[in-house]
Amino acid sequence: MADASFDIVSKLDRQEVDNALNQAVKEVGTRFDFRNVDAGIKWSGETIEIQANSEERANAVLDVFKDKLIKRKISLKAIDAGEPRLSGKIYKLGVTLKEGISQEDAKKIGKIVREEGPKNIKAQVQGDELRVSGKKRDDLQEVIALLKGKDLDVALQFVNYR
């Protein structure tokens, strides 16, 4: 019997992020506390740009956006929000989206799988993802449960389970 395996990836559903952004735009446009503060949120290339006339309002727009992401089941670990910076009279805040597992995170996950997971499990790095394989499917499910229980810095998805 061939080895069972699955891949650990960190990917974002761009359409869901876009939907969350559009919902945040609508809410910012209609909420009373955002009137006359030049608050806005929009795509700026591959990042999301938030702007407002005060630091607090910029952070409030970010909170609205995070709320919309959570409702669409997108992990907040997949976004990296900077600090509001003054640009003329407007505060701007950049939000970058993180995709893929970095080499050091992949090594850290591999180490957790080797040390705390069941024996006979192999984890190998393949680009920006990690392939975990073993003889028994039950062992692989144990690894998934182990990694879901850990508080890692990346949003993980488990795909290609076979």
Domains 4-10+101-159 and 14-97 share a fold: yes
Please say if the pLDDT value at position 1 is more than 80: no
The pLDDT mean for the chain works out to 92
Distance CA 109, CA 125 (A): 10
User: Each residue of 69-88: pLDDT tens digit?
Assistant: 999 999 999 999 999 999 89
**Coil, helix or strand for 7?**
strand
Global pTM reads 0.87
Domains in the chain: boundaries: 4-10+101-159, 14-97
- The answer to whether the beta carbons of residues 21 and 37 sit under 8 Å apart is no
Is the domain covering 14-97 a CATH 3.40.50.300 domain?
no
pLDDT reported for residue 153: 87
According to CATH, the topology of domain 4-10+101-159 is Alpha-Beta Plaits (3.30.70)
Q: In the block, which residue shows the tokens 């073993």? A: 134
Give, as one character, the DSSP assignment of residue 82. -
